Chain A
Amino acid sequence: MEGLYVHVPFCARACPYCNFDFEVGRNPDVSGFLAGLKREVQLRRECELLPQSFQTVYIGGGTPSLLGAAGLARLCDWISAMFPGSGAVEWTVEINPEHATPALFASLRAHGVSRVSLGVQTLHPHGLVELGRVHSVLQARNAIAEAAKAGLRVSADLILGYRGQLQAALGDDIDALTQSGATHLSIYALTVEPETPWVKLVRRGMREMPDEECQAALLRHAHDYLESQGFTHYEVASYGAGDHRARHNQLYWTWCNYTGIGPSAHSATYENGVVTRRGNTRGLAAWLREPLAQVERLAGEDAAREGLWLGLRQLDGIDVARFLTTFAQVDRAWLERVTRRQVDIGNLAWCVERSVLKVAKGRWLWHDTIAEDVLAGEVAG
């Protein structure tokens, strides 16, 4: 399976904690952007093998919904024209609640979109202010309901751990989202990136750096509540009801190829245990001039280590047989050696007669500790 990611680099305003690649402005130049995408695809078709079609499509940003119903329709049509038949398994678009309308969802549905990811972030007015979001609580709830009504699968993002968030209200928030029709939640702790406005705001006393302990409690609480409500915690930051999984995102963790187009988008190809990662130029103007920036190739143990780390993001764990086929440069003894310490301290567990290696129950909160160990290539002690 292969996926296509399209990065839409426009935002109406900057969120204080975010450092993704975006341009601020209310009237994005859709034609110019599409021309840029076209040029990139042409360039890449000359120098690398791009698939004719992708099973999954993900339009993210930035704020894709800033393109409006018409703009998104043009983008979707362009994708379908360039890569006919794409998005058959899943076609997701990120939508900000303030842009959600029944007409937008109907249009998306008509242009092949099957799933929306809504940037809800929180259902508390002060939280929305704290996070610099412009939509209202009501808009967020309506957006989910309208999207579901239009026949789209709905995922909602939640950010935990901003100042003043109450653990007691978290269950109600989750109920509100699921009752509105969300069948998938992406939950992550507020992470303040360096060189974002948040850092400056903290200095002025207008924000606080997130408290690790409080965030941990919230993450744990959300986890317990969602599991009690029948959601499956299938990836470190993702919960799905029933069989709802973010199929495109899963490609990242399961050693599948994906192609990213647009500013700062990333691509990966796996071939004979060698991973090639391409990163596009950051910044709309720079990307328009020269879209392709860097290529990184990982081989041998390095590729296997990275594959191990990524695979472990899936909480079902790694199918060892498939891992050893994908990364034939290493063997089972290698896998046991590089994971021994984490197994010993109880962060990783072998199961199903040692055919599956996964993060032990409750230990996903220390996923980066595990990652540091398996990526570093040296065993402590």
Chain B
Amino acid sequence: MLSWVCGRCRAGHSPSRGHTRVPPIDMNKPSQASVRTPQQNIRSFCIIAHIDHGKSTLADRLMEATGLLGERDKTAQYLDRMDIERERGITIKAQAVRMRYDYDGETYELNLIDTPGHVDFGYEVSRSLSACEGALLVVDAAQGVEAQTLANVYMALDADLEIIPVINKIDLPGAEIDRVKEEIEEMVGLDASSAILCSAKTGVGIPDVLEAIVALIPAPKGNVEAPLKALITDSWWDAYKGVISIIRVFEGSIRAREKVRFLATDKTYEVLDVGAYAPEATSLPEIAAGHVGYLICNVKEVADSKVGDTIAIASDETAEALPGFQEVQPMVFAGVFTSDNGDYPVLRDALTKLSLNDASLTWEPESSSALGFGFRLGFLGLLHMEIIQERLEREYNLDIITTAPSVKYRVFYKDGTDEIIDNPAKMPDPGGFDYIEEPMILSRIQVPEEFLGAIMKLCQERRGIQTDLKYMTSTRTQVTYELPLAEVVFGFYDQLKSISRGYASLDYDVAEYRRADLVRLDLLVNGERVDALSLITHRQNAFNRGRDLCVKMKEEIPQQQFEVAIQAAIGSKIVARTNVKALRKNVLAKCYGGDISRKRKLIEKQKRGKRRLKAVGNVEIPQGAFHAILKID
């Protein structure tokens, strides 16, 4: 149950009585989205929050308080439409809802533009922010400010947004409001004395949040009469309507049947429909400067409606793009194969469908001698990779094998040419190239002081170079490292979390390519290279990696009728080896009294433990072995 607490006297009286300024919900009013609002009454904002700090719950409360959501809709966090998002409590796809809010005799249009909440989606966040005039900075009253929040706050400050600090979860027993205020002041540099205290869970403080949005966030400016200029903040694919985009109109207006041009792709479309989500899609005659809404115009693929692209009227040939557009580049690559080769067409169809809705996912066919035919996928980051894996398994019921994640290496040859390689199996042997460059990141890790030593050790092991260390508060530090991206994609985040018992948070920017002494480490089984298990590592770590890999493989490969040699090699040089002893016999005692069923079940059980073996030469390697490579550090 939502319990109302008056924003002025903080008493729990009913919102329909007393002196509250929050209007009661009137379900008989006409659709809220259809009411045209003057520009000075528009407030467009987003919510910046760390995962689990209550962004989605707060969004739901705001929608309830403005009459957009009834009790019935409360089960789901409305903005997170996909199952996976809901289960993980994270938001992948940004959306936007329009709320109507009556305040001081005026009716305001509040546009809440949702932003993705993970380190992999920094660019998308920046585009969503640039469609807003303000942001709610939501900080958990018990957890305090986290690195990811900070990164987004800096982005919001860069975009000149008005930032309203909101301290959430004040009902928690562990709430430390003063400490969190201090952190906001010290770490973010915002005046937190007037931070709004609320609990999205109980509803305390929600009217204050609404009041602050109206009072503090500036109204948009923009000439309605000027030629159209609109920004795409998000696009997704809908089975019935094709691509739907969320746009913010900065100048002019857009209406159905107009011809418009997308500047980055230079493609022209006829507008089929414009409208707003309130929270269901509602058609509108137009979207004018300052407003946020959706656009449908017969775009076939999400890749043609790029986040950050500018939309202009087709006839306006001199239209200039809004600043900040970037082509989204995948950073992390992995091979994806089906465990049953017969499922290959299903995987291809699934990827076709997924990429309709995800312009940042790239894929091309790949074949492996061990795993058969599959695809090499490019992801924005590790979370993106996990999400895609999970969706392939869950939504398309595929049993997939994913190879170890890799990054894009730049290989320079002695003849002066160079090549980008994102698949370790394709990396040339040592001596076959002049040198290799790898992508670096600049990472900011925030961690309580007590874990700092362990985190620094981890970063050093991962070939990190420390560039900065500062105390954000007396107990919280932020350490900055230059790290090779390849080291980070290999279980770094999990280790970071386990070393710091979950307290460390990580944020990164992609930095330049840097030369490094890298080698391809191969795994050989009875002399045959298992291409899907090749990896690229720094020469210094090659021996340890090779040994760990051999040990892991020995655990994974079952005994066969002959001895299996497992070797790790750099080129033709063996750096580690072990072997799996031959299985000398595999035969059960005789069957007494004709109890065939029991014996058959025993054998079938044994077999189930060894299902889906992949043959490399004459050696059978279980599927688990290909996952096990991910577990070595």
Interface residues in chain A, defined as those with a beta carbon under 8 Å from any beta carbon in chain B: 5, 7, 20, 60, 186, 188-189, 191, 212-213, 215-217, 219, 236-238, 249, 251-252, 258, 260, 264-268, 277, 279, 296, 306, 309-310, 345, 347, 364-369, 371-373, 375-376, 378, 380-381
Contacts and interface: CB of A to CB of B under 8 A. Distances in A.
B48 to A, nearest CB: 51
Contacts of B600: 306, 309, 375
Contact of B606 (A60, A249, A372, A381): A372
B239 interface: no
B473 to A, nearest CB: 54
Contact of B596 (A236, A264, A268): A268
B226 interface: no
Contact of A264 (B581, B584, B593): B593
A367 B595 contact: no
Interface string B572-605: 0000000001011111111111111100100110
B607 A372 contact: yes
A60 to B, nearest CB: 6
B587 A380 contact: no
A369 B596 contact: no
Interface in B584-633: 584-597, 600, 603-604, 606-607, 610-615, 618, 620
Contacts of A219: 585, 587
Given A266-B597, A279-B595, A380-B615, A237 B590 contact: yes
B597 to A, nearest CB: 5
A277 B596 contact: yes
Given A60-B592, A189-B585, A381-B614, A368 B597 contact: no
25 contacts: A60-B592, A212-B585, A213-B581, A217-B584, A237-B590, A238-B590, A249-B590, A252-B591, A260-B593, A260-B594, A264-B593, A266-B595, A268-B594, A277-B596, A296-B597, A309-B600, A345-B618, A364-B587, A365-B587, A372-B606, A375-B603, A380-B613, A380-B614, A380-B620, A381-B614
Nearest to B372: A381
Given A345-B618, A372-B607, A279 B586 contact: no
Contacts of B590: 186, 188, 236-238, 249
Contacts of A267: 594
B561 interface: yes
Contacts of B596: 252, 266, 268, 277, 306, 310
A380 B622 CA distance: 10
A367 B587 contact: yes
Given A260-B593, A369-B586, 19 more contacts: A189-B585, A191-B589, A237-B590, A249-B590, A266-B597, A268-B594, A306-B596, A345-B561, A364-B587, A365-B587, A366-B587, A367-B586, A367-B588, A368-B586, A375-B600, A375-B607, A376-B604, A378-B612, A381-B615
A300 B591 CA distance: 24
Nearest to B584: A216
Contacts of B587: 189, 219, 236, 364-368
Contacts of A5: 593-594
Contacts of A237: 589-590
Q: Return the 8 tightest CB-CB contacts between A and B, nearest first.
A: A216-B584, A381-B615, A372-B607, A216-B585, A365-B585, A237-B590, A188-B589, A380-B613
Interface in B96-154: none
Max chain B Cβ within 10 angstroms of own Cβ: one of A60, A347, A369: A369
Contacts of A306: 596, 600
Contact of A7 (B585, B593, B620): B593
B632 to A, nearest CB: 25
Nearest to A258: B594
Given A375-B603, A376-B604, A366 B593 contact: no
B593 A265 contact: yes
Interface string B37-69: 000000000000000000000000000000000
Contacts of B610: 372
Contacts of A7: 593
Contacts of A369: 561, 583, 586
B343 to A, nearest CB: 13
Interface of B: 561, 581, 583-597, 600, 603-604, 606-607, 610-615, 618, 620
A371 B605 CA distance: 11
Contacts of A380: 612-615, 620
Contact of A215 (B585, B597, B603, B620): B585
Contacts of B586: 365-369
Contact of B585 (A309, A366, A371): A366
Nearest to A190: B589
Nearest to A366: B586
B594 A252 contact: yes
B561 A20 contact: no
Contacts of B613: 380-381
Residue in B594, B597, B618 whose Cβ sees the most chain A Cβ within 10 Å: B594
Given A5-B594, A266-B595, A368 B603 contact: yes
Contacts of B595: 264, 266, 279
Given A252-B596, A380-B620, A213 B584 contact: yes
Contacts of A310: 596
A279 B610 CA distance: 28
Contacts of A236: 587, 590
A306 to B, nearest CB: 6
A366 to B, nearest CB: 5
Most buried by A among B588, B612, B614: B588
B584 A365 contact: yes
B585 A375 contact: no
A7 B592 CA distance: 10
A215 B586 CA distance: 11
A256 B604 CA distance: 22
Contacts of A345: 561, 618
Given A189-B585, A189-B589, A212-B584, A366 B594 contact: no
Nearest to A17: B589
A121 to B, nearest CB: 12
B586 to A, nearest CB: 4
A310 B593 CA distance: 14
Nearest to A267: B594
A84 to B, nearest CB: 23
B275 to A, nearest CB: 52
A277 B594 CA distance: 10
Max count, chain B CB within 10 A of own CB: residue among A215, A260, A364, A372: A372
Nearest to A369: B586
Contacts of A376: 604, 607, 611
Contacts of A251: 594
Nearest to A237: B590
Contacts of A215: 584-585
B319 to A, nearest CB: 58
Nearest to A187: B590
Contacts of B606: 368, 372
B603 A366 contact: no
Nearest to B609: A372
Contacts of A266: 593-597
Contacts of B615: 380-381
Nearest to B595: A266
A317 to B, nearest CB: 17
Nearest to A306: B600
Nearest to A296: B597
A368 B584 contact: no
A176 to B, nearest CB: 22
Contacts of B583: 212, 366, 369
Given A376-B604, A380-B613, A380-B615, A368 B594 contact: no
Contacts of A378: 611-612
B616 to A, nearest CB: 9
A371 B603 contact: yes
B593 A372 contact: no
Contact of B592 (A20, A268, A296): A20
B402 to A, nearest CB: 20
Contacts of B593: 5, 7, 20, 60, 260, 264-266
